[in-house]
Amino acid sequence: MRALRLENGGPVISTAPAGPRPGEAWLRVRLAGICATDLELLRGYMGFEGTLGHEFVGEVVGEVVDAPGGPTSWAGRRVVADINCPCGTCPTCRAGRPTHCPHRTVLGIAGRDGAFAEFVSLPVANLHPVPDGVPDEAAVFVEPLAAACQLAEQIHVRPSARVVVLGAGRLGQLCARVLALTGAEVIAITRSPEKRALLPRGVTALLPESAAEAAGADVVVECTGSAPGLSQAAALVRPRGTIALKSTVHRPPGASTDLPDLNGWVIDEVTVVGSRCGPFEPALRLLASGAVDVAGLVTARYGLSDAPAALAHAARPGAVKVLLDPAG
């Protein structure tokens, strides 16, 4: 099958073995999305080589062993999928923390070929059926929307709170939408006029040079995907406030860390929360109900044969979500 693979430090369209791993489901990829992590992998993050891609909606090919609580038959079902594939037997898994399994593989990121391909293999336990009313163009956002929902799992955001989202790109747009549902005052900081225009009603947009107006925030969510983001977050959060880190950034050996003065965090008793993957079912409900609208967030759509150009487009300023269509 055709796949976009990261080989010898660069993206190439090549052929990859076709067929599921033993005991796993074989999925035809209907649509996939490029995210900031994919772009960081191109820069050397995680040292990954193989097929890229972890945001996707697919269709199950053939029958597979059913998962507990799943549909009677998986064949032909449209699905999205958790990207972490834990071992299920180690102490971390048995303690109920499978997404932190030290032996896990991660779709298109660590030890497992991803979804920028015609087909992808995943455990049945990772699959989530997509409601009929959710089109592929919305379902492809489930994985990053679940990551945005993880904020509500980790942080109690009160309706009276002031919440600042640093960056209004791929993930920042979704975080702003989820946080706005809490009734909190949500402020997004971005320089891009295209991204400011996409923010939903009720979210205030500020330019970086006006960020001081948002100081004293109860919660700051760092979504810039840049090393200085942490320093910006530290400047805006109030004493005893919370900083949530949503970005992972590749830092070459010897690069500056751009860390803020950590003494201030101690004195102000700031809480710092790492926030990564999240729950898929709430994300699917938000899309199905229309509570979160992702219409307008797609910047461009490419066929798989044009995937290198799609990656370049996704890296341009102002781009939000670039999609890959294996059949296109």
pLDDT tens digits, residue range 118-141? Answer: 999 999 999 999 999 999 999 999
Residue 159 neighbours by CB under 8 Å, 6+ apart:
182, 183, 184
Q: Is the dihedral of CA 43, 45, 51, 56 positive or negative?
A: negative
Per-residue confidence (pLDDT) for residue 261, from 0 to 100: 75
In the predicted model, is pLDDT for residue 326 greater than 70?
Answer: yes
Domains of the chain: 2-141+294-325 (3.90.180.10), 148-274 (3.40.50.720)
Per-residue confidence (pLDDT) for residue 251, from 0 to 100: 65
Per-residue confidence (pLDDT) for residue 100, from 0 to 100: 95
Per-residue confidence (pLDDT) for residue 248, from 0 to 100: 76
In the predicted model, is pLDDT for residue 66 greater than 80?
Answer: no
Q: What is the mean pLDDT of the chain?
A: 92
pLDDT in tens, 33-61: 999 999 999 999 888 999 999 999 999 99
> Encoding tokens for residue 178?
């989820």
Q: What is the pTM of this model?
A: 0.93
Residue carrying structure tokens 């049945």: 124
Cα 2 to Cα 51: distance, rounded to the nearest angstrom: 10
